[in-house]
Amino acid sequence: MEAAHRVNSEDVLERSQMSHQKSAKTVVCGAGGFIGGHLVGDLIRQGYTDIRAVDIKPMEEWYQRFDDAENIQLDLQLKPDCQQAMRGAQVVYNLAADMGGMGFIENNRALCMLSVLINSHLCMQANEQGVELFFYASSACVYNADKQTDTNVTALKEEDAYPAMPEDGYGWEKLFSERMCRHFREDFGLQTRIARYHNVYGPHGTYDGGREKAPAAICRKVIQAKLSGDHEIEIWGDGNQTRSFMYISDCLKGTQDLLWSDITDPINIGSNELVSINQLVDIVEEIAGIQLKRNYNLSAPKGVNGRNSDNTLIKKLMGWEPATRLRDGMEKTYRWIHDQMTAKSPRPMAV
């Protein structure tokens, strides 16, 4: 890896003063999605005054929408739309991608690969328009599959992305886009920051429709079983596959701290609390106060056997790591999904 530098308060203060942090025109790409919506809300709460929120979805389909931001519907795979999105931008968060949980990415590899157009056009426009800081949301799916065959997985270090053998489709696009950011930094001086997210979850996210990830899907299935009285649940795979899951508030803090640091290499932002899918179901059953009969669908998509975040580097360079206990985050997530499923009007807009 290239040399990376420790985050300290002087670095953050110097960069924030240079960019007039809270008054800088800040563009959030993918703002209608799960992480993007939370990020826009968090920036507004902090007092950011010039936020442009961009997403391809019609605004009534945005998970969260805030009147204090400039909200625009654009297709960032298209160069003219990227030009419009980036006009006057000083700080850019690129969270835009065609993605979802394992059920989506294993069956839509070409669509996932096409997200390379988003980051490519955004990097081009960021360079042309003099953007000061550019954040790219990568994924733990970039890691070599040969290192994820055991459920008792050794936590993944940043250097484990090479030699390259990422998740087919989605992982390849993320790894390629990481390199794109690196070369725009090296060749053109665009200041890029790259986070490898590990399974972000929380309220205001997808919990049905095929793009949901395991925490939300299991919450939905447990709630359905409880409401219907049919006390059975389908689990994809044998339930022994292992993962770590990061709560959204930790993701937001890590993302923003990384952006304002001078760390230029990709870095893990993820919890290292490893659990099996069966253990995740245990947690949700305990929250719901119910026990279900488990039916295992061995032909369903389940991804790699084991994946966990090695947080050695983030602790060394940033003096921090995600710390929300899975049980605590899952209870908040469960309560929100339960309210959505039992409400007359699901997914109310936050304004």
Q: Are 258 and 320 in contact (CB under 8 A)?
A: no
Q: Which two tokens stand for residue 254?
A: 């890590």
Q: Among the options 48, 93, 136, 170, which is catalytic?
A: 170
How far apart, in whole angstroms, are the C-alpha atoms of residue 340 and residue 335?
Answer: 9
C-alpha angle 186-188-189 in degrees, rounded to nearest 5? 70
Catalytic, 170? Answer: yes
Question: Per residue, what are the HEC states of 13-36?
Answer: HHHHHHCCHHHCCEEEECCCCHHH
Three-class DSSP category at 290: coil
Q: Which run of H or of E encompasses 135?
A: strand 133-139
Three-class DSSP category at 316: helix
Q: How far is CA 204 from the centre of its chain?
A: 13
Please report which residue ranges of 19-153 form alpha helices under DSSP H: 34-46, 79-86, 102-105, 109-113, 116-128
Q: How far is CA 208 from the centre of its chain?
A: 17
Residues annotated as catalytic are 170
